[in-house]
Amino acid sequence: MKTKDDAYAAFERLMNEKEIFRDETLSFEDICAEAGADPEELEKRLIAELGYRGEELVSAYRRIEKVP
């Protein structure tokens, strides 16, 4: 099992490098599963570091992507 730091890094890679957020059928929990991250633990960290809940962050990526 991944450490919390490894899971956070895997989530970050999926979002920034693989741009997994483009698949609008995937939820935050789905992306966490792909990253090997516990959604509750990752959400706590996202809130602490970025001020976003998981689904809010994924939605923000999707909104930004749609801006011309």
Written as six digits, the tokens of 49 are: 């570091």
pLDDT given at position 65: 81
21, 34 in Cβ contact below 8 A? no
pLDDT in tens, 6-56: 999 999 999 999 999 999 999 999 999 999 999 999 999 999 999 999 999
Q: How far apart are CA 23 and CA 62, in angstroms?
A: 9
Q: How far apart are CA 20 and CA 9, in angstroms?
A: 14
Kindly report the backbone phi and psi dihedral angles of residue 25, in degrees, each rounded to the nearest multiple of 5, phi listed first: -80, -15
pLDDT given at position 32: 97
Cut 0.95: pTM above it? no
Pick from 20, 38, 41: nearest CA to 29: 38
